[in-house]
Amino acid sequence: MNKNFWCADPAAAAAALRAQYPRAAERACAIADDVCANRFLFRDHWEMERTNVPVQFGPEEKDIDWALIPAGDPEWIYAMNRHTSFVNLARAWLLTGDERYAQKYARLIEDWIDRVPLTGESRNDTWRSLEAGLRCENWLRALELLAGSGVPGAALRQKIETCLRQHGGYLAAASNTFHRLSNWGVLQDHGLFLLGVYFDRADWRQLALSRLDENLHHAVFGDGSQWEQSPMYHCEVLHNALDVVLVGRKAGVPLPAPFTDAVHRMCRALAAWVKPDGRLPMQSDSDDMDARDLLAAGALLFEDGALRALAGDALLPENLWDFGPEAAARYAALPADPAARGSAALPDSGNYMLRGAQGAWAHMHCGCLGSGHGHADLLHLDAGIAGEDVLIDSGRYTYVDSAIRRQLKLPAAHNTTRVDGEDFSACVDSWGYSRLAVPLKGEHRFTPQADYISGLHLGYLDRGAVVGRKVVFLKEQGLAVIFDQLYAAGEHLFEQRFHFAPGTLAPAGDGACWQGRRAAARLLCLGDGLEQAWSREPFSREYNRLEEGAVLTCRRRTGGFNWFVTVLSLDGDGRPHPLTAELLPVTRLRRGDTLPDAMAQAVRIVKDGRQTVVVACHGEVISEVDLLAAGGCEGYGKLLVFTGGCKRGLCLAW
């Protein structure tokens, strides 16, 4: 049996946590205090489905109903039987030396073993293979942390290990086509791998590694993103895969090279996906979570300065438990690669993260849906600055099949466009869709001054319409210029939606002014014929927590080509900067004609006295030899940016 899967000295890790992250230490003890009182609330850092309302049982262990489903959401029973509570009890013992935490752990785990058997029925709830896999990690972590406590005693340890062997046999047999691609496969085979190391079972180790290698081969795109299109589930898979690398190396177990390569690519993809502060966008079934601990773990395991740059200057609490405080010196010695903090593209999954000055960022998605965890969010754009969100994704809230579940998955819950009041993709229940729009990934180009991304989709092809979006991100100015297009014959209603983060919002005639705690923003919606409407709609930053925010909806009804041009100004110093924007005609110099909107559009923006002209072509506009002109600026290309008195212009697309 192997010891010290994770940090070599858990007591030193506890001491470092108390010194460096006292709030995290207090939180672990507070959770353990609740568990000692038979009160359960699931709010660990990487808890997949957090809860906000504690469930209180009677004073004895026998009063606990391990199969309870409060409020009709089975996710509670799954969280209950993953046993993160055991890890928090063990951590609290290390942090305080209080024996009641260790004794409570012993009583709870024995009660669970005695009263929650593996049966045909329990395979669907307390013994789902997903929970069984996660339990293996949590049980082994608790045993490691409690090694100096005298708990469990010899008889109970034998009982625990007998049950863990049962887990191993169960997990070895629990595999089908679903597990070969789903996050389930990784989470449960990670548990099987740990048991193979713990019990020195080469057959379990090799079976688990074979399955893990195949799963990541299928599930991880070339750009490193996990196929389900949820940054949070990408992280859940990555945590388990990183842990296999960590434990496997410590135990001297050879790991398949394609597997470790895929894990490294997943780390790099996460670095591209996160906001400048290391938090996840609430894309698809994701919560607003800090992912820097995974980036730091990847930096240590792969000696990768790019990951170090996004993770920050210090190890996070989870890193201390995994690697020990002695890893801090090795981490600090890694040279951070500043290029990693710039804009990044995940072209296979269609995710683009644009990053600029003062922590300004904008993220757009135009790629496959992914699994049932994916949302109908094609061309969605969220944005923020200085550690605050300005435009947000509406999140997930619940997995219970309900009106709110479907509402938060549909296009109207995202900052994208719709046609004729219809959705471009339609869901039928919590996980399934009856119609899916086909994305057409566009171009992207990143430069030191400005970035460009674009995309289209065919969700309205049955209506004879195609929609597209072009985004220009001016990095130093904190400006995003958004061109939305509806290519169609006949008359259609084009709709554009913007969901604002909590803050002080002042609607203006041409858009809105938003004020946060330390950031501000201005949204300008340009052009004639626009109708605007404000509403209050739900959003969710974490599972089981529903909030309400302001939503601006713009509409224009017209025949043929339809469009929106929007300017988003982001300010990181807490005050909105002076801003004006106007549409400009686009002409061809040699022909001397003015192009219609369906062919080209231009906008002049003046912020802080600095003028920028952006020209966007929506069709093939030059068939012979000619240059484009707008606002006194002249150049050639399909996407042009002119600053500093126009000069020669920066071409971002040809």
Distance separating alpha carbons of residues 566 and 400, to the nearest angstrom:
36
pLDDT of residue 195: 98
- From residue 628, how far is each of 275, 444, 581 by CA, in Å? 36, 21, 20
- Given a cut of 60, whether residue 430 has pLDDT beyond it is yes
Q: How far apart are the first and last CA of the chain?
A: 62
Q: Say if pTM beats, i.e. exceeds, 0.95.
A: yes
Q: Which domains does the chain have, with CATH numbers?
A: 184-341 (1.50.10.100), 344-577 (2.70.98.70), 578-654 (no CATH)
Tokens of 382: 């969220």
* Three-class secondary structure assignment of 455-485: EEECCCHHHCEEEEEEEEEECCCCEEEEEEE
- Given a cut of 90, whether residue 401 has pLDDT beyond it is yes
pLDDT of residue 644: 81
pLDDT per residue over 262-305, tens digit each?
999 999 999 999 999 999 999 999 999 999 999 999 999 999 99
Q: Specify the residue for token string 């929970």.
A: 131
Distance separating alpha carbons of residues 334 and 189, to the nearest angstrom:
31
pLDDT per residue over 70-99, tens digit each?
999 999 999 999 999 999 999 999 999 999
Sign of CA dihedral 16, 20, 24, 29: positive
| Those residues with Cβ within 8 angstroms of residue 80's Cβ, 6 or more apart along the chain or in another chain | 40, 42, 66, 68
- Are 246 and 6 spatial neighbours (Cβ–Cβ below 8 Å)? yes
| Displacement of CA 71 from its chain's centroid (Å) | 26
Closest by CA position to 554, among listed 537, 530, 523: 530
Element (H, E) at 298: helix 292-302
Phi-psi group of 395: left, alpha or beta (phi > 0 → left; psi -120 to 50 → alpha; rest → beta): left
pLDDT per residue over 352-389, tens digit each?
999 999 999 999 999 999 999 999 999 999 999 999 99
Give bridge partners of residue 629 from the DSSP assignment: 587, 634
pLDDT of residue 274: 98
**Mean pLDDT of all residues belonging to the chain:** 97
DSSP symbol at 111: H
Number of Cβ within a 10 Å radius of residue 637:
18
pLDDT per residue over 438-495, tens digit each?
999 999 999 999 999 999 999 999 999 999 999 999 999 999 999 999 999 999 999 9
Element (H, E) at 594: none
Percent of the chain's residues with pLDDT above 90 = 98
| Those residues with Cβ within 8 angstroms of residue 78's Cβ, 6 or more apart along the chain or in another chain | 49, 125, 128, 130, 131
What's the count of helices (H) and strands (E) in the chain, helices before strands?
16, 29
pLDDT of residue 2: 47
- What three-state secondary structure class fits 21? coil
pLDDT of residue 509: 80
Distance separating alpha carbons of residues 110 and 117, to the nearest angstrom:
12
Say if residue 651 is exposed, middle or buried (CB neighbours under 10 Å; 0-12, 13-18, 19+).
Answer: middle
What's the pLDDT band for 1 if we cut at 50, 70, 90?
very low
Q: What is the residue type of 572? A: G
Distance separating alpha carbons of residues 73 and 401, to the nearest angstrom:
10
- What three-state secondary structure class fits 480? strand
pLDDT of residue 647: 78
pLDDT per residue over 620-651, tens digit each?
999 999 999 999 999 999 999 999 877 789 99
Region 544-553: what's the mean pLDDT? 98
Tokens of 257: 């090279």
Tokens of 279: 């938090």
- From residue 242, how far is each of 167, 275, 277, 285 by CA, in Å? 21, 21, 22, 22
DSSP symbol at 632: T
pLDDT per residue over 124-164, tens digit each?
999 999 999 999 999 999 999 999 999 999 999 999 999 99
| Those residues with Cβ within 8 angstroms of residue 343's Cβ, 6 or more apart along the chain or in another chain | 352, 353, 354, 355, 446, 451, 473, 475
E-only strand ranges, 589-654: 600-607, 610-617, 628-630, 633-635, 639-643, 650-653
pLDDT of residue 3: 64
- Are 549 and 539 spatial neighbours (Cβ–Cβ below 8 Å)? yes
DSSP symbol at 422: B
Q: What are phi and psi of 469, to 5 degrees?
A: -145, 135
| Those residues with Cβ within 8 angstroms of residue 133's Cβ, 6 or more apart along the chain or in another chain | 171, 187, 188, 189, 190, 191, 192
Region 165-192: what's the mean pLDDT? 97
